[in-house]
Structure formats: C-alpha cells, structure tokens
Amino acid sequence: MRKTSVSALLFDAGNHVFFILLACTTLLPFVYLFSLSISSAETSFATIRLLPTHATFRNYEVVLHNPLIGYGFINSIVRTVLGTALSVFVTVMTAYALSRSYMPHRTFWLIFITFTMFFSGGLIPNYLLVKSLGLFNSVWALVLPSLVQTFQLIIARNFIMTIPEALEESAKIDGAGEFTVLFRIILPLSLPIIATLSLWTAVGHWNAWFDSLIYISEAKKQVMMVVMRNIVLSGQLPDVFDASPSTAVVTPETLKAATIMVTTLPILVVYPFVQKYFVKGMLIGSVKG
C-alpha cells in the first residue's frame, strides 16, 4: 500500500493548483475575446473584468449582417466538405494499393512518396504551378494542392496492413475483384481510421488561410479565415463595415473580437465531442508499421 506522507500530500496539492492555473491560462485569452465581443462602446478598459460593464450583442448583429462574412462561411464550408471528401477518398485508395504485398515495385513507390516529406519545391514553384494550371480564383486551388497528406497516407496504410490478409484471400476465391475487396471489406473495417483522417482534414481545411490568400483574389470567393484576417489583421475593417448602420454603438476592437469569435465558434462547439478521436488518431499514427 502507498504511504501518504506530508510531502506527498503537499506535492499533490501543488500539482493540482499548477494544473488549474495552467487550464486558466489556456482559457483566459478565449474568455477575454468573448468578453470583448459583447462589450459596447461605453465599456471602460481601466480595470480587468471577466465580463464587460456594458454588455451588448450589437457587435454580432453587425458582423453577421455583413455579406462578406456570409460568403466567407459558405466558401469555407464548401472547401471543407469537398476537400475532406476528396482527400479521404484518394488517400484511402492510395493507401490500399501501397498496403498490398503484390503491388509492383512497392518499395520504390513508397520511397517515391515519402521523399516528398523531406524535400519540396517551395513556395514560388507551387504558386507558379497553381497559376499555370489555371486554378486561380477556383475552389480547386484550395483542394488539389493538399489532396494527399503523406503522413496521413502512411498512417492509413499502416492501419490497412493490420487487417488480416485471409479476409481478402477468401473474398478473392469467391470471385471478388480489387474494387470489391476495397469497398466491401477493407473500407468498412477501416472506419475508425477514416473518421480520424476526415476530422484532421476537415479541421485543416477550416483553419487554412494562406492558400486562399495567395490564390483567391475575388472578395466573394474568399474563405472565412481570410475575411477575418482582412478585418482583424490587415486593417481593412473600415472598408468591410463601411455601410453598416449605427456603427456608433460598436468600436473597431469589439467588432474585431466578434468577428474572431464567429470564426472560432464552429471549432469550439465541435471540439469537445471530437477531441478523443484526434487523440486516438495521434496514437494510431505513433505506432510504427
């Protein structure tokens, strides 16, 4: 049995306090953001408060009525859904092929693919490629360049390799072809890894901004992250909110906060429910295959 000494009790107490403080430090910026987003123009910033002296939802009204933010949301949703579906589809097919022992020149193809993890053309060649493919101002510029993530491909392949080959062999004896094996046997058994890949890819697409910044120039085709970035970081707030009525009760700071809040909310809402899948996926990935 464990003896509980005084020093052990002290350590436990200190450890708990440490983690509570750490959790507060993690959450504080988000709490502050929320507080700022419901502040009205009269709110004083002389002292630190958890909640503002004058609360209002006017900021959100102004933000949500802005057409660019509406477009931004739609564009983000389109790229996320399309990008995730296509990425997972191609990743699983490629992973399946690479997991078969009878695949011709398998080692060569594996090296061919993993080499790209260690060496890449870089920013400018990629930019010129997307340009020469004529993908500017198209959602394909946001979907195709990141279609397969090599790390995810390797994880998917490792997972598929753990599925007993006997299943495939017996199906092939019964006359099943390559497509039947993949879609009827491998795919249903790979649902856990597919769920993880989908979540990773979806979060990646929702958060992505740089590709949209450099490949999309039409304001109506811009994703939410860049709309938000233009308002908050690039000082385009006056242009974006120019026509908004009664901006007198809101301030640039509170409007910015509400804009960030609106962009973050989808992740904050979904996060607690999907968090464990991310952790699981991370652990599957760390097992060497």
For 222, other C-beta atoms within 10 Å of its C-beta total: 23
Mark residues 2-41: x for contact with another protein by CB under 8 A, - for none: x--x--x--xx--xx-xx--xx-xxx-xx-xx--x-----
We find the least distance from the C-beta atom of residue 164 to another protein, in angstroms, to be: 18
Q: Which stretch binds another protein (CB under 8 A): 65-73, 74-82, 89-97, 237-245?
A: 89-97
Residue with smaller CB distance to another protein, 70 or 145: 145
How many chain residues touch another protein (CB under 8 A)? 89
Residue with smaller CB distance to another protein, 32 or 73: 32
* Nearest residue to 157 via CA among 204, 96, 107: 96
We find the least distance from the C-beta atom of residue 166 to another protein, in angstroms, to be: 18
Give the span between the Cα atoms of 185 and 116, in whole angstroms.
Answer: 30
We find the least distance from the C-beta atom of residue 134 to another protein, in angstroms, to be: 13
Q: What's the angle, vertex CA 100, arms to CA 95 and CA 104, rounded to 5?
A: 105
Contacting residue, 38, 194, 225, 240, with another protein by CB under 8 A? 225
Q: Which stretch binds another protein (CB under 8 A): 61-69, 94-102, 163-171, 188-196?
A: 94-102
Residue with smaller CB distance to another protein, 74 or 270: 270
Q: Cα separations (Å) of 171 from 66, 92, 165, 224? A: 56, 19, 10, 46
Binding residues among 54-83 for another protein as defined by CB under 8 A: none
Q: Does 217 bind another protein (CB under 8 A)?
A: no
Binding residues among 132-191 for another protein as defined by CB under 8 A: 132, 144-145, 147-148, 153, 177-179, 182
* Segment holding 127, helix H or strand E: helix 123-132
We find the least distance from the C-beta atom of residue 253 to another protein, in angstroms, to be: 6
Contacting residue, 38, 142, 232, 240, with another protein by CB under 8 A? 232
**Angle in degrees, 0-180, between the axes of helices 6-37 and 252-286, rounded to the nearest 10:** 130
For 13, other C-beta atoms within 10 Å of its C-beta total: 10
Q: Cα separations (Å) of 54 from 29, 48, 58, 152, 248? A: 20, 14, 11, 48, 14
Residue with smaller CB distance to another protein, 64 or 270: 270
We find the least distance from the C-beta atom of residue 227 to another protein, in angstroms, to be: 10
Binding residues among 235-264 for another protein as defined by CB under 8 A: 253, 256-257, 259-260, 263-264
Residue with smaller CB distance to another protein, 97 or 195: 97
Binding residues among 97-126 for another protein as defined by CB under 8 A: 97-98, 100, 102-105, 109, 112-113, 116, 118-126
Tokens 């039947």 appear where?
Answer: 180
* Nearest residue to 147 via CA among 63, 86, 69: 86
Give the span between the Cα atoms of 241 and 253, in whole angstroms.
Answer: 13
39 forms bridges with which residues in the sheet?
55
- Burial string for 176-187 (b: 16+ CB within 10 Å, else e) reads eeeeebbeebbe
Residue with smaller CB distance to another protein, 214 or 249: 214
Q: What is the DSSP letter of 120?
A: -
Tokens 């102004």 appear where?
Answer: 62
